[in-house]
């Protein structure tokens, strides 16, 4: 009982510290010196540009609101990739915030393992699993956002093609796609249009778009536009062909997903069934499964079984994953 009391005091202290830190970061993000310098820089660059929808253009490149922490994070080689992942997910998160969430979930998982009196190796495993929870959420948000952009891409390209046929230049077509398009694809083309207005070359702005949105169809669009700008030709007709090709591929992909739905469901059932049965048997009759970790041969059997399960899951994932 005393153990739970001290744990409650520690968690309450952590909650108060995080509340104070959140209040300070909220004030600093709007009234701090870094926010004032950023506003001044935007006014100098854009000569009065004050569109709030485009304000994250420079903020998204920061890893933290704190300059010392920003310099520290820049020294790690993997932080740029993590920042790119957060940018692709569409979440308004910085790297420092993401790392703090990962640390909190890891601490929460460790506290749960301590309450259940689990062994130290299991405690470390729970900490690693808890720390990866925010990463899985970010990856899921990234895949969902990229899928939506891929489905919206034919309509966006058709909109740009109609703008070109109406007599607009390609930057005007980008502006029309950013203002009259649907989110989240409109925000990506808005960044391209803003970069071009701020003096970034068109080629570099389009390459930045292909790096932010790693979709094969979008890369085909960027390559086609860049080649057309070098060699010439009817860009509106080229965009029409690209949009029709993307629609045909998405239609074929939908048919393939329908035909492979049964196989994917079977793979999920076969992957989850051994772990669900082990948990159920251990709950109903703990003595029946306890021999696996009390007998010296038990850990070897568990390791072999897990290796075979991982191999089977990998094989099933390769079978049901059909590229179109």
pLDDT tens for the chain, 324 residues long, are: 466 666 667 777 777 777 777 777 776 666 666 666 655 544 443 333 334 344 444 444 566 666 676 677 667 777 777 777 887 887 777 777 888 888 888 888 888 877 777 667 777 888 888 888 888 888 888 888 888 888 888 888 888 888 888 888 888 888 888 888 888 888 888 888 888 888 888 888 888 888 888 888 888 888 888 888 888 778 888 888 888 888 888 888 888 888 878 888 888 888 888 888 887 887 787 777 777 777 777 778 888 888 888 888 888 888 777 766
Cβ pair 146, 175 in contact under 8 A: no
Phi, psi of 181 (to 5 degrees): -80, 180
Cβ pair 198, 44 in contact under 8 A: no
The CA dihedral of 121, 279, 138, 119, to the nearest 10 degrees, is: -10
In whole angstroms, give the CA distance from residue 192 to residue 221.
Answer: 14
Cis, peptide link before residue 184, omega less than 30° from 0:
yes
User: What pLDDT is attached to residue 123?
Assistant: 78
User: What pLDDT is attached to residue 70?
Assistant: 66
- Number of C-alpha atoms within 13 angstroms, CB side, residue 135? 11
User: What pLDDT is attached to residue 3?
Assistant: 62
Burial of 172 (0-12, 13-18, 19+ CB in 10 A): middle
In whole angstroms, give the CA distance from residue 121 to residue 114.
Answer: 12
User: What pLDDT is attached to residue 60?
Assistant: 43
Find, among 99, 34, 93, the residue nearest to 73 by Cα.
99
Q: In this structure, what token pair is assigned to residue 81? A: 């990739």
Cβ pair 164, 239 in contact under 8 A: yes
User: What pLDDT is attached to residue 190?
Assistant: 87
Q: In this structure, what token pair is assigned to residue 103? A: 């640390």
CA 320 to chain centroid, in Å, comes to 23
User: What pLDDT is attached to residue 45?
Assistant: 39
Q: In this structure, what token pair is assigned to residue 282? A: 């251990």
In whole angstroms, give the CA distance from residue 254 to residue 241.
Answer: 20
Find, among 137, 62, 63, the residue nearest to 102 by Cα.
137
User: What pLDDT is attached to residue 225?
Assistant: 87
User: What pLDDT is attached to residue 297?
Assistant: 79
């Amino acid at each position: 009982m005393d153990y739970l009391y001290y744990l409650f005091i520690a968690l309450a202290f952590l909650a108060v510290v995080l509340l104070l830190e959140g209040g300070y970061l909220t004030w600093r993000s709007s009234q701090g010196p870094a926010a004032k310098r950023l506003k001044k820089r935007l006014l100098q660059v854009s000569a009065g540009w004050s569109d709030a929808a485009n304000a994250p253009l420079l903020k998204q490149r920061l890893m933290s609101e704190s300059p010392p922490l920003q310099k520290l994070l820049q020294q790690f080689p993997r932080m740029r990739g993590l920042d790119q992942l957060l940018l692709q997910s569409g979440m308004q998160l910085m790297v420092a915030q993401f790392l703090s969430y990962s640390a909190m979930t890891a601490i929460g998982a460790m506290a749960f393992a301590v309450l259940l009196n689990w062994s130290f190796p299991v405690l470390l495993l729970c900490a690693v699993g808890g720390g990866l929870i925010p990463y899985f959420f970010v990856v899921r948000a990234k895949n969902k956002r990229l899928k939506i952009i891929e489905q919206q891409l034919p309509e966006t390209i058709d909109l740009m093609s109609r703008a070109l046929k109406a007599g607009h230049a390609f930057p005007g077509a980008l502006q029309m796609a950013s203002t009259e398009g649907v989110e989240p694809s409109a925000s990506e083309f808005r960044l391209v249009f803003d970069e071009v207005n701020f003096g970034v070359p068109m080629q570099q702005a389009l390459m930045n778009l292909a790096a932010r949105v790693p979709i094969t169809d979008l890369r085909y669009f960027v390559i086609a536009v860049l080649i057309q700008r070098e060699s010439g030709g009817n860009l509106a007709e080229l965009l029409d062909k690209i949009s029709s090709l993307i629609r045909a591929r998405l239609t074929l992909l939908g048919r393939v997903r329908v035909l492979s739905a049964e196989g994917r469901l079977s793979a999920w059932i076969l992957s989850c069934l051994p772990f669900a049965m082990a948990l159920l048997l251990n709950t109903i009759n703990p003595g029946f499964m306890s021999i696996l970790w009390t007998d010296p041969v038990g850990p070897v059997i568990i390791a072999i079984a897990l290796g075979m399960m991982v191999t089977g899951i990998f094989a099933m994932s390769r079978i049901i994953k059909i590229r179109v």
